[in-house]
Amino acid sequence: MKKQKLFKMSVLVYIQTLEGKATKAGLEVASFANKMNAGDVTALVAGSLSGDGELGSVGVSKVLHFSESATDNSQLSKLTHAAANSVNASTILFSGNIEGSSVAPRVAIAMNSGYVAGVTCLPEGKGFTRNVYSGKATALVNVNSEVCVISITPNSFGIKLDECESAVESFSAEIGSQRVVINGFTPTSTDGSVPLPEAERVVSAGRGLKGPENWGIVEDLASALGATTACSRPVGDMGWRPHHEHVGQTGVTIRPDLYIACGISGAIQHLAGVNQSKVIVVINTDPEAPFFKAADYGIVGDVFDVLPKITEAIKEL
């Protein structure tokens, strides 16, 4: 049966790669593009690419490969703009991670197009659904410009396998010289765990841990679960943990399958970054802690007793 397109258009999707392969966020946004415009998706990759970067597995029929590295927002937006013109793209998609959120609006301005950030599901007609008010409500945004740039909230759509032949073509464009290098532009983590924005399981801790010397119990649970560690803002501000682990309104927004909050009160600013997680588990000594209202599972207890027991139980499993 012929696959159906939701829109009659040409779709370009910008893909981040790591060691030559599309990142998880890249495969997710490519899956989204494929569901919008079945079988007619062009991906743009800058830097290292091995084969088709596994993009054929999610229905990308053509990959434009810019072999030089472009790590500056301004270079990446010029590159995407040039690629969008070359395939006459009417929709340009980015993952709404740190890089995508920085580059997408620049492309929208350069192309004088509509821009919708933080889209969470496939469009209805020309309307895109996005979360507003820290995920408490959704808005349907109609785009009436000819060209539209959108970014997809990471972990909102998932990876949808749809094997196809993917043709790789080299692509060149004049993007000028690099002006700024942003550390952490490529999604990496220092301890070899999955980078926080891409993690499916996250163990996060707050001031209830009392001090940085106690983080061993958090790391043990994270390692037993294959999870990434995160923290509340004061923990980052006090230097107990590195700033890139801080989640919330002013930190990283995440949407993992499992979020375990240990000794975190659940202030609105913290919840803003984590309340879209699929399953939330809260461990807190205070039964009145606001986090319990957002929890799927709650344990009223002391993290110093509870965490080692959970870790032991998971190891036994």
**Among 114, 154, 208, 256, which residue sits at the site for ligand FAD (rule: CB under 6 A)?**
208
From 33-41, 129-137, 174-182, 226-234, span contacting ligand FAD (CB under 6 A): 226-234
Residue with tokens 């340009």: 92
Closer of 143 and 230 to ligand FAD (Cβ): 230
Q: Does 187 sit near ligand FAD (CB under 6 A)?
A: no
CB of 159 vs ligand FAD, minimal distance in Å: 28
Closer of 58 and 196 to ligand FAD (Cβ): 196
From 37-45, 106-114, 193-201, 229-237, span contacting ligand FAD (CB under 6 A): 229-237
DSSP H or E stretch at residue 183: none
Give the interface size with ligand FAD as a residue count (CB under 6 A).
Answer: 26
Closer of 178 and 250 to ligand FAD (Cβ): 250
- For residue 127, the number of C-alpha atoms closer than 13 Å in the C-beta half-sphere is 6
CB of 114 vs ligand FAD, minimal distance in Å: 29
Long-range pairs, 286-293, Cβ under 8 A, ≥24: 289/265, 290/265, 290/266, 291/261, 291/264, 291/265, 291/266, 292/266, 293/266
Closer of 75 and 276 to ligand FAD (Cβ): 276
Q: Does 265 sit near ligand FAD (CB under 6 A)?
A: yes
- For residue 183, the number of C-alpha atoms closer than 13 Å in the C-beta half-sphere is 4
| Nearest to 11, CA basis, from 60, 65, 66 | 60
Closer of 141 and 272 to ligand FAD (Cβ): 272
CB of 293 vs ligand FAD, minimal distance in Å: 12
| Nearest to 202, CA basis, from 183, 223, 174 | 223
CA-to-CA distance for 68 and 76, rounded, in angstroms?
11
Q: Does 273 sit near ligand FAD (CB under 6 A)?
A: yes
From 98-106, 136-144, 211-219, 267-275, span contacting ligand FAD (CB under 6 A): 267-275
Q: Does 269 sit near ligand FAD (CB under 6 A)?
A: yes
Residue with tokens 């807190």: 284
* DSSP result, 190-231: TTSSPPGGG-SEEEEE-GGG-SGGGTHHHHHHHHHHT-EEEE
Residue numbers at the binding site for ligand FAD (CB under 6 A): 206-208, 232-235, 248-251, 263-265, 267, 269-270, 273, 283-286, 289, 302-304
